[in-house]
Structure 1
Amino acid sequence: MDKIVVATDFSERSDLAIARAAMIAVKTGAGLHLMHVVDDDQKYRIVKAETALSEQLLQEEAVRLKQTDGLVCASEVVLGDPFDGIGSSADALRPDLVVLGAHRRHLLRNVFVGTTAQRTIRRANWPVLMVNAPPKQTYRNVLLATDLSETSGKAAAHFSALELADSAHCTLLHIFRAPAQQLLMSNMLQEGQMDRYLVELQVEAEQALFEFAEPLPFQNSNRMVRHFNGATSAAILATAADVQADLIVVASQGRVGLSKTFLGSVAEEVLRRAEVDVLAIPPNLLA
């Protein structure tokens, strides 16, 4: 990894993001680029004052990181909307990773307009790490969710290339459904038949996950297949809690032909509800 961009709004949430980004930079030898966006839809004197203060705060943070972690950091104040500013600057810098602080969990804002983190990830051309938890150590228990698609395979390979964790610390998770379970509920299928059906699906899913993982650099990783008929995002989050994951990796899904790229519903819900860090790898990066 060569370059990490970390966006900060100088909140405690952003402090966690900076700490995690610094930890990754130390581990991988990547350069660190600190960024803050000043909303330019204000009076000129306010923009000027906020810009000057932001530059001072970024420089102080760079000095601190040099003293504590030995990191030489670049810094930048960008004018614009936080979402557009982060995206445009990152596009110009072409980082290997963008690190953001966790979003505010305001229900109405999440439902109607989304958060800066989510909006940034939707249009991203680079992996985005949303930091939710205080970083205590390098990632030791990564849950990588896969639907066994080609896009998911490319996301897994790209995650490996980032060197955020050793493959031995990763669990590949595949969630499968049982369509015939509706027949049991409607009394068209006996319970014993359903049990046999689930066993067959489990074996098929395990074989499919084995074939999916074989060409990927995850020979030492754990592999887990789970049956779940509810929301896939809920299954991912429940499994993350069960295995005590400190990072969840998801591939976002894009819609071709739209002016913006939207997160698929699974990744969207994982990002919205996760209590641990989430790495989203966008489909436009994997084309």
Structure 2
Amino acid sequence: MKVLVAVDRNAETFVGLRYACHLLESCYAKVDALHVTPDLKDIAAESYAPFLSKDGLENAIKTEIQQVEEMFREAFQPCLPTNLPCALQITAGDPADEILNVAHSDGYDMIVLGSHQKSYLRGLLLGAVHAKILHYAEQPVLIVRQFREIHRVLVAYRGSHNDDASLRFLGPLLANKNAEITLLHVQETGQGESDEFARASLQKGAQILRDFDFDPLARMAKGDFVEEILKDVAVNRHDLIVMGAYGHKRPKYLQLISDEAHNLARLTTRPILVFRETIEVRTA
């Protein structure tokens, strides 16, 4: 399994690297950090730093790279006990485009995004780069705004094929964590969802997790999907949210995620894994 963690010179983004190592500590995985610098071929010096010449801009970018390299060496220290191989890559261009391109061309299985503290304090929990990657990635995307050891996991479960695949992806990741997993199905009565369908969905999801030797808690709620999930996270202090990128009505032509997945990723302060495809994860 190959995981790509996006980082920059803001220390908060390296929380994603530490969290990825924590999540994958029992898996056969490789974790790479990616830093994207401005591309001198595409930008004018004055648009990036008006007071710098071209040489000055090049030196500023070199200094930025050196800072990121030093931050990477420091941030990776807590990951050393996991024995996960990890390297830092540097590329140039538009951050979202480059992260998506590298993830696709190099065959990464998951993208991890940290968060800037300034954005967090201002309530901008899903910036433009995060939003673009979340919508257009071909892989599961994990957004990390704070490091929390994984003890309680909430799966926002709608019973779709994509949700089922997210459980099969999650099972090996949590194999040795002794985590409490809760399946929460929000019954969407406004869309005509019956009690029988809701119960059958929960039973199906619980059985998938039992196949991985978990004993999940299965609960139903009624109301607005996002509001009920956020309420449960606050009351039960879950450490990680997992959900499929698509509900039962997956877009036919576009990769865009469901409104529920976007809004939950935008509003929660917990780490959230938005799942897209099924891959094999081997445990150590």
In which range does the TM-score fall when normalised by the shorter chain? 0.7 to 0.9
User: 1:90-105 to 2 correspondence within 5 Å?
Assistant: 90-102=103-115, 104=119
Shift of 1:85: 1.0
Q: Which residue of structure 2 aligns with residue 88 of structure 1?
A: 101
1:242 to 1:165, Cα distance in 2 relative to 1, 3 A = farther
> Structure 2 CA distance, aligned partners of 1:268 and 1:222?
25
Worse overlay, 268-277 or 114-123: 114-123
CA offset digits 1:238-267 (Å, max 9, x no partner)? 111122111111111252224xx2121100
> Structure 2 CA distance, aligned partners of 1:64 and 1:180?
50
Shift of 1:274: 0.1
> Structure 2 CA distance, aligned partners of 1:118 and 1:51?
25
Q: Give the TM-score, by structure 2 length.
A: 0.78
Asked if the contact 2:241–2:270 (Cα under 8 Å) also holds between the matched residues in 1, the reply is yes
Shift of 1:281: 1.0
Asked if the contact 1:202–1:225 (Cα under 8 Å) also holds between the matched residues in 2, the reply is no
**1:256 aligns to 2:267 (yes or no):** no
Q: Which residue of structure 1 aligns with residue 273 of structure 2?
A: 279
Letter in 2 for 1:171: T
Shift of 1:61: 3.3
Aligned residues: 257
Q: Which residue of structure 2 aligns with residue 76 of structure 1?
A: 89
Asked if the contact 1:78–1:89 (Cα under 8 Å) also holds between the matched residues in 2, the reply is no
User: 1:167-182 to 2 correspondence within 5 Å?
Assistant: 168-179=179-190
Shift of 1:177: 3.0
User: 1:151-166 to 2 correspondence within 5 Å?
Assistant: 151-163=162-174, 166=177
Q: Which one has a bigger Cα radius of gyration?
A: 1
> Structure 2 CA distance, aligned partners of 1:144 and 1:242?
15
Q: Which residue of structure 1 aligns with residue 62 of structure 2?
A: 52
Asked if the contact 2:156–2:229 (Cα under 8 Å) also holds between the matched residues in 1, the reply is yes
Q: Which residue of structure 2 aligns with residue 129 of structure 1?
A: 142
Shift of 1:68: 4.3
Q: Which residue of structure 2 aligns with residue 234 of structure 1?
A: 227
Question: Which segments of 5 or more consecutive residues in structure 1 lack a partner in the other structure?
Answer: 182-197
Asked if the contact 1:233–1:270 (Cα under 8 Å) also holds between the matched residues in 2, the reply is yes
Shift of 1:14: 0.5
> Structure 2 CA distance, aligned partners of 1:108 and 1:130?
13
1:161 to 1:64, Cα distance in 2 relative to 1, 3 A = same
Asked if the contact 1:34–1:74 (Cα under 8 Å) also holds between the matched residues in 2, the reply is yes
User: 1:5-44 to 2 correspondence within 5 Å?
Assistant: 5-28=4-27, 30-40=29-39, 41-43=43-45
Shift of 1:153: 0.9
Q: Give the TM-score, by structure 1 length.
A: 0.77
> Structure 2 CA distance, aligned partners of 1:68 and 1:204?
45
> Structure 2 CA distance, aligned partners of 1:115 and 1:67?
30
> Structure 1 CA distance, aligned partners of 2:24 and 2:125?
32
Of residues 217, 226, 229, the one that matches 1:222 is 217
Shift of 1:272: 0.6
Quick one: percent identity of the two aligned structures?
Answer: 23
Partner of 1:21, secondary structure, is helix
Asked if the contact 2:162–2:245 (Cα under 8 Å) also holds between the matched residues in 1, the reply is no
Worse overlay, 63-72 or 33-42: 63-72
**Superposition RMSD in Å:** 3.1
Partner of 2:12, secondary structure, is helix
Q: Which residue of structure 2 aligns with residue 192 of structure 1?
A: none
> Structure 1 CA distance, aligned partners of 2:61 and 2:208?
49
Shift of 1:128: 1.2
Shift of 1:144: 0.6
Letter in 2 for 1:88: N
Shift of 1:66: 5.5
Shift of 1:126: 1.4
